[in-house]
Amino acid sequence: MSHAPQPLGAPAVRREGRAKVTGAARYAAERGLPGCLYAWPVPASVPSGRVTAVRTVDALAHPGVHSVLTHDNAPRLAEPDDPILAVLQDDRVPHRGWPVALVIADSLASARAGAAALHITYETNPHDVLLTEDHAGLYTPEEANGGYPAVRERGDFDRAFAEAPVQVDATYTLEPLHNHPMEPHASTAHWSPTGHLTVYDSSQGATKVRDSLAAAFGIGTDRVTAVSEHVGGGFGSKGTPRPQVVLAAMAALHTGHPVELALPRRQMPALVGHRAPTVQRVRLGAEADGTLTSVAQEIITHTSRIKEFVEQAAVPARVMYGSPHSRTTHRVTALDVPSPSWMRAPGEAPGMYALESALDELAAETGVDPVELRLRNDPADEPDSGKPFSSRGLAACLREGAERFGWPDRDPAPGVRREGALLLGTGVASATYPVYASPGHASAHAAPDGTFRIAVNATDIGTGARTVLAQIAADVLGAPLDDVAIDIGDSDLPDAPLAGGSSGTASWGWAVHKAASGLAEKLAARGGPLPAEGVTVTADTTEETAEESPYARHAFGAHFAEVAVDTRTGEVRVRRMLGVFAAGRILNSRTARSQFIGGMTMGIGMALTEGSTLDPVYGDFAECDLASYHVPVCADVAAVDAHWIEEDDPHLNPMGSKGIGEIGIVGAAAAVGNAFRHATGVRVRTLPLTPDRVL
Ligand code: MOS
């Protein structure tokens, strides 16, 4: 792996690593506030309808139970900016799992027992939770997630496809997937006697949590403090506030005590968002040599009754391969399901599974090597916009990956490599993720003793954000890393955007870079010792980040996977996997590698074990815990490695970095699926590749 010599790329160790592994780091539900009560949400046990009565007498009689909140007595909220936060405001049940009561007690056990003693009656409506290709409710939305147009057309796809000498027409289906960060969604809320709300919230962005709570409770943002000091993963599901923080704040207001609420694992799938299921039809028209003439990717997906969220799975097809004729569309239907939301690489992860699987089908159809096929269709400019790329490292990743993986010796014949009862195969797929940056604020302080302190409301969700931001500041200030302290994870610090869209380091880092540069200039301009209070510079990157770039800016990558398929049990195992990425300058080789490998691991889960089923009768997900929703464990991820091509791209941000949090999962499942096809000769167009599907 790469250990770049410059300080910015150095493999600095995580600053909070020791606190985390020794248990000294305190998470949102570990604050131990005096007099703290515990809350247990009660999920609706019908998929659609309304609550007609909540009998609380038995619950309130239970020892330790303090109170029960329902829509009758819960604090009234101003209409929240996100409909999923409008909890306990009325009697409606938009989906199974929606919170209909909250039991507050002096221990977690009492709260849970109180919840079991509630008697809730409902009036039910007929419900529908099944996405089908011909669903009557399907419509074309204005936009898909991320603000992308739902429909894009270039040229004349129908004619070009009809005339293409080689055609691939394949439909891929993906089940819902769930975010299961190790730390569940948790909050501790506390109102001071003067009416100041403090929440410790497991979130990807405390500035947004502060703003949403202030709006919901109708108070100024100066009366709310949101702290997200340590966060045990999020993957998008903590990107914006989730209901638990509102419930905890309500409970604290109602009782006058601090209240702690950690969502039970089984309640998470219905409350924190999920990756929506997709049905994706991909059509590729090509010349006999594999040159694409027409590309269509048409997505069908679901959303909930209360919120439109459209998984933007066709968007990466607008970036990936050259072809004069193209159509990319999204259609959605509102079902009686929990609200879908962000899950690592929303859009790219499911969309690139389908597109990269179809590319593999085209390779088989034309006899062109899958790596060569991708190189042959690597465009000079971004197909959808015609803009030049600021840098495009796909070809370099494919070549470097092929070399390192041993691809050139590959026999393309499917289903011929045996090892006893095992069939072996290898596959490749590309990856891409857009470059984003949002405006942020930061301050940089120089103390008279020669040390520095940086403040920015960034969030470290396990990525190493603290460490990398300190590296950026140290680099600008020319200071040893140990002389730079950093404060993050508190909304009283300078406002900053969330850890999401793989943009955290770019957004926060830009503000830190600007503040540190300003400080360095100020220090250089003045002579003599610093005043006792030191010198502070604050920065705001609203202007810089708003500049429209004339370039198409994306990170790219290539995954290579080898699988073994057991012909007796149907078990598929990844033997080794390699990802090579081109994501601008890598700012910390240790934490970057960990991010890439983490994404790839999630891709292995998507390919082989993770899947969720909406039960049409029950109206909810069948897999609601880690015993039934199988995330990969150590034994599933034997030899996974990540490398990268350092890019020198001056069109990004002052650090020259692209995001790295999400690209690792993009295309990873397709590489595994393509390896499965090479091993067995059988194309399976759905995931996960569990034994029941394989045999
Ligand atoms: Mo990521 S799904 O943008 O937190």
| Mean local confidence (pLDDT), 347-364 | 98
Task: List Cα–Cα distances, 339 to 111, 166, 466, in angstroms.
Answer: 26, 40, 31
637 vs 88, residue with greater confidence: 88
> Residue for token digits 């120089």?
446
Convert the pLDDT of each residue in 242-266 to its tens digit: 999 999 999 999 999 999 999 999 9
Indicate whether this complex's ipTM tops 0.95: yes
- Helix, coil or strand: residue 166: strand
Closest ligand 1 atom to 345 CA: 2
pLDDT at 3: 36
What does the block give as tokens for 474?
A: 């140290």
Residue 500 alpha carbon to ligand 1 centre in Å: 4
DSSP string, 472-500: HHHHHHT--GGGEEEE-SBTTSSP---S-
Ligand 1 nearest atom to the CA of residue 237, by list position = 4
How high is the pLDDT of residue 528?
83
Note the pLDDT tens digit of each residue in 170-187. 999 999 999 999 999 999
Task: Quick: pLDDT tens for 69-101.
Answer: 999 999 999 999 899 999 999 999 999 999 999
Looking from the CA of 228 toward its CB, the CA atoms found within 13 Å total 37
- In terms of Cβ atoms closer than 10 Å to its own Cβ (0-12, 13-18, 19+), residue 139 is exposed
Q: What six digits make up the tokens of 55?
A: 């009998």
Confidence category of residue 5, pLDDT binned at 50, 70, 90: very low
| Closest atom of ligand 1 relative to the 238 alpha carbon | 4
CA of residue 93 to ligand 1 center, whole Å: 27
pTM of the entire predicted model: 0.97
Instruction: Please give all residues whose beta carbon lies within 6 A of any atom in ligand 1, as ranges.
Output: 204, 234-236, 239, 342-344, 346, 500-501, 662
Vertex 221, ends 217 and 225: CA angle to 5°? 90
Q: Which whole number is the average pLDDT over 464-481? A: 97
Q: Are the C-beta atoms of 81 and 20 separated by less than 8 Å? A: no
The yes-or-no answer to whether 143-177+274-435+553-694 and 438-546 have a common fold is yes
Using the atom order of ligand 1, give the atom closest to the CA of residue 502. 3
Q: What's the pLDDT score for residue 366?
A: 98
| Reported confidence tier of residue 6, pLDDT bands at 50, 70, 90 | very low
Cα(662) to centroid(ligand 1), Å = 7
Q: How far is ligand 1, taken at its centre, from the CA of residue 278, in Å?
A: 18
| Cβ atoms < 10 Å from Cβ of 481 | 15
Nearest to 230 by CA among 41, 34, 23: 23
Which of the listed residues 344, 436, 438, 663 should we mutate to test ligand 1's pocket, taking the one with most ligand atoms within 8 A of CB?
Answer: 344
Q: What is the CATH number of domain 37-126+182-233+238-271?
A: 3.90.1170.50
Q: How distant, in Å, are the alpha carbons of 308, 369, 490 from that of 359?
A: 31, 10, 45
Q: Kind and range of the H or E element at 669? A: helix 668-680
The amino acid at residue 651 is: H
Q: Is the pLDDT of residue 647 over 50?
A: yes
C-alpha of residue 671 to centroid of ligand 1, in Å: 22
CA of 435 to the centre of ligand 1 (A): 13
* DSSP conformation class of 511: H
Kindly report the protein residue whose alpha carbon is nearest to atom 4 of ligand 1: 236
Query: Of 16, 356, 382, 662, which residue is the catalytic one?
Result: 662
Is residue 47 classed as helix, strand or coil in its secondary structure?
Answer: coil
The reported pLDDT for the residue numbered 690 is 97
Ligand 1 centroid to Cα of residue 498, in Å, is 9
Q: What is the pLDDT of residues 271-322, one digit of tens each?
A: 999 999 999 999 999 999 999 999 999 999 999 999 999 999 999 999 999 9
Contacts of 370 (CB under 8 A, 6+ apart): 359, 360, 363, 427, 428, 674
What does each C-alpha distance from 575 to 424, 425, 537, 667 come to in angstroms? 9, 10, 51, 17
Task: Report the 10 Å Cβ neighbour count for 157.
Answer: 21
Domain map (residue ranges) of the chain: 37-126+182-233+238-271, 143-177+274-435+553-694, 438-546
489 Cβ contact partners less than 8 Å away, ≥ 6 residues apart: 206, 227, 228, 229, 230, 231, 457, 458, 459, 460
Share of the chain above pLDDT 70, in %: 99
In whole numbers, what is the pLDDT of the chain averaged over residues? 97
Closest approach atom of ligand 1 to CA 499: 4
Concerning whether 356 is annotated as a catalytic residue, the answer is no
Element (H, E) at 66: strand 65-69
d(Cα 400, Cα 404) in Å, to the nearest integer? 6
- Where residue 638 falls among pLDDT bands split at 50, 70, 90? confident
Decide if 301 contacts 334 (C-beta within 8 A): no
* Second CATH level (architecture) for the domain 143-177+274-435+553-694: 2-Layer Sandwich (3.30)
Model confidence at 599, pLDDT cuts 50, 70, 90, reads very high
Measure CA of the first residue to CA of the last residue in the chain; give whole Å.
Answer: 38
Query: Which residue is associated with the tokens 């699988």?
Result: 563
pLDDT, residue 527, reads 80
The pLDDT score that the predictor gives to residue 2 is 37
Reading the block at residue 243, the tokens are 């209901």
pLDDT at 113 over 90: yes
Most ligand 1 atoms within 8 A of CB, residue of 662, 663, 665, 666 to mutate: 662
Report whether CATH 3.40.50.300 matches the domain 438-546. no
pLDDT of amino acid 7: 72
